[in-house]
């Protein structure tokens, strides 16, 4: 027969965890009155505050804005200076008819004047020089002799 | 402030103070940290659903405690000649009073068979609190949030910013230490009985 405990539930060996929680609960009652009063006062101070979430301006937009400004300034600075608008292109580039008229020679007006003062002999020589220059710029294949068709006959 | 939020803060202010007090061992710093946590909760999360307040509040408090500890470490590094964290004056008072003052112990005595048992239990509780105070911050907060506050493993992990596995590991270590302490106390008690 089991002996009956005369004082049931009076002293049970609690687990370490239970004991710790019990100790912590008991320690709440031991908080001094002045501390409790200060806690209460702190909480009352918060009562006047707005509970709506404050949407503070995000701090990241300042550096991001700076970086964007720098990038834009650099892009503008490094942009090629040539004016590529259609009007500018028309002014700077000679039309096809102009090229034909001048023979695609890039000559100054004074040079043109000198050309007009050349004699016939000098003019022929200049044309020969021009022909030699044209010949030198031809590819080598075009200079190979044409096949002789009727050599045998 | 929302009256419901006020009630919530009233319900947890003492527990939060106890947690902060265990971590900082200083009343003023603990009060300041609790106030900061409350302020942040009210300002930033006051509009949230009331179910979210508890884990949010403890997460904020944990962040405040971690910041406080980092700050203390920095200060100690630069001011190495200063004393380490002060000892708990209330703990000393409590230890001193334990021998002589049993005014609030009537209830305690009535629950146990003998005054010796009640005294032993009270001593054990003080030892447990001292042990909790000595624990590393994360182990301490892990135990307090999970076992005392009753947060789930996941909520504890979120509040502390660690994984679920780490929470379980910390809890296991704390339990081991507590069990060892209790076993030591039991052994001391038995030895006293034998000599007495």
Q: How far apart (Å, rounded) are the C-alpha atoms in residues B153 and B163? A: 9
CB spacing of B14 vs A49 below 8 angstroms: no
Check residue A69 and give its pLDDT: 93
In a domain, A145, yes or no: no
Q: How far apart (Å, rounded) are the C-alpha atoms in residues B147 and B150? A: 5
CB spacing of A39 vs B34 below 8 angstroms: yes
The minimal CB distance from B43 to the residues A24, A28, A49 is found for A49
CB spacing of B44 vs A38 below 8 angstroms: no
Domains and CATH numbers, chain B: 3-78 (1.10.1740), 89-195 (1.10.10.10)
**Which chain B residue shows the shortest CA-CA distance from A34?**
B27
Count: domains in chain A: 1
B182 touches chain A (CB under 8 A): yes
Q: Which residues of chain B does A26 touch, with a Cβ-Cβ cutoff of 8 Å?
A: 125
Residue A41: C-alpha distances to residues A139, B16, B39, B58, B93 (Å): 100, 15, 13, 20, 25
Q: Which residues of chain A does B39 touch, with a Cβ-Cβ cutoff of 8 Å?
A: 46, 49
C-beta separation of A52 from B46 below 8 A: yes
B130 touches chain A (CB under 8 A): no
**Percentage of residues of chain A with pLDDT beyond 90:** 7
The pLDDT tens digits of the residues spanning A59-91 come to 788 889 999 999 999 998 887 765 555 555 555
The minimal CB distance from B125 to the residues A19, A32, A46 is found for A19
In a domain, A80, yes or no: no
In a domain, A96, yes or no: no
Buried/exposed A113-148: b ≥16 CB within 10 Å, e otherwise: eeeeeeeeeeeeeeeeeeeeeeeeeeeeeeeeeeee
C-beta separation of B144 from B19 below 8 A: yes
pLDDT in tens, chain B (196 residues): 678 888 899 999 999 999 999 888 888 999 999 999 999 998 888 888 888 899 899 999 999 999 998 888 888 777 666 655 544 444 433 343 433 333 444 444 445 556 677 777 778 888 888 898 889 988 999 999 999 988 999 999 988 889 999 999 999 999 999 888 888 776 666 666 666 5
In a domain, A132, yes or no: yes
In a domain, A127, yes or no: yes
B7 touches chain A (CB under 8 A): no
Q: Which domain range does residue A134 map to?
A: 106-138
In a domain, A125, yes or no: yes
Residue identified by tokens 């000679």 is A94
> Would you say residue A151 has pLDDT above 80?
no
Residue identified by tokens 């032993």 is B120
Q: What is the mean pLDDT of chain A?
A: 71
Ordered alpha helix ranges (H), chain B: 3-24, 27-45, 50-78, 89-100, 106-111, 115-134, 137-143, 153-160, 164-195
Check residue A4 and give its pLDDT: 46
Which residues of chain A have a Cβ shorter than 8 Å from any chain B Cβ? 7, 10-11, 16-17, 19-24, 26-32, 35-36, 38-40, 42-43, 46-54
**Which chain A residue shows the shortest CA-CA distance from B184?**
A16
B38 touches chain A (CB under 8 A): yes
Check residue B44 and give its pLDDT: 87
B47 touches chain A (CB under 8 A): yes
CB spacing of B113 vs A43 below 8 angstroms: no
In a domain, A112, yes or no: yes
In a domain, A90, yes or no: no
For residues A112-135, give the mean pLDDT: 80
The pLDDT tens digits of the residues spanning A22-67 come to 888 888 888 889 989 998 888 888 877 665 555 566 678 888 999 9
Q: Which residues of chain A does B1 touch, with a Cβ-Cβ cutoff of 8 Å?
A: 46-49, 51
pLDDT higher for A10 or A152?
A: A152
CB spacing of A46 vs B38 below 8 angstroms: yes
> Would you say residue A16 has pLDDT above 70?
yes
CB spacing of B31 vs A52 below 8 angstroms: no
Check residue B50 and give its pLDDT: 85
C-beta separation of B115 from B105 below 8 A: no
Check residue B195 and give its pLDDT: 62
A92: Cβ contacts below 8 Å, ≥ 6 apart = none
């Amino acid at each position: 027969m089991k002996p009956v405990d005369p004082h049931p539930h009076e002293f049970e060996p609690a687990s370490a965890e239970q004991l710790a929680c019990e100790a912590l609960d008991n320690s709440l009652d031991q908080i001094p009155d002045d501390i409790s009063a200060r806690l209460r006062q702190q909480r009352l101070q918060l009562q006047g505050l707005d509970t709506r979430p404050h949407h503070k301006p995000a701090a990241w937009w300042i550096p991001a804005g700076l970086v964007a400004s720098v990038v834009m300034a650099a892009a503008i600075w490094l942009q090629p200076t040539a004016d590529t608008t259609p009007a500018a292109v028309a002014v700077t580039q000679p039309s096809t008819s102009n090229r034909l008229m001048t023979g695609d020679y890039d000559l100054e007006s004074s040079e043109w004047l000198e050309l007009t003062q050349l004699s016939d002999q000098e003019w022929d020589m200049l044309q020969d020089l021009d022909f030699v220059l044209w010949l030198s710029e031809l590819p080598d294949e075009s200079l190979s002799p044409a096949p002789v068709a009727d050599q045998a006959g | 402030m929302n009256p419901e939020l006020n009630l919530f803060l009233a319900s947890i202010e003492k527990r939060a103070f106890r947690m902060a007090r265990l971590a900082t061992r200083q009343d003023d710093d603990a009060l300041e940290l609790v106030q900061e946590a409350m302020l942040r909760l009210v300002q930033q999360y006051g509009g949230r659903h009331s179910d979210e307040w508890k884990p949010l509040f403890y997460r904020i408090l944990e962040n405040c405690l971690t910041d406080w500890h980092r700050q203390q470490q920095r200060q100690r590094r630069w001011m190495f000649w200063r004393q380490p964290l002060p000892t708990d004056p209330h703990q000393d008072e409590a230890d001193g009073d334990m021998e002589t003052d049993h005014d609030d112990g009537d209830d305690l005595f009535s629950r146990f068979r003998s005054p010796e048992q009640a005294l032993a239990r009270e001593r054990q509780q003080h030892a447990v609190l001292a042990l909790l105070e000595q624990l590393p911050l994360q182990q301490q907060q892990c135990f307090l949030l999970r076992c005392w506050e009753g947060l789930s493993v996941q909520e504890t992990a979120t509040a502390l910013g660690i994984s679920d596995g780490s929470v379980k590991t910390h809890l296991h270590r704390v339990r081991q230490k507590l069990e060892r302490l209790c076993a030591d106390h039991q052994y001391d008690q038995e030895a006293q009985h034998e000599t007495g």
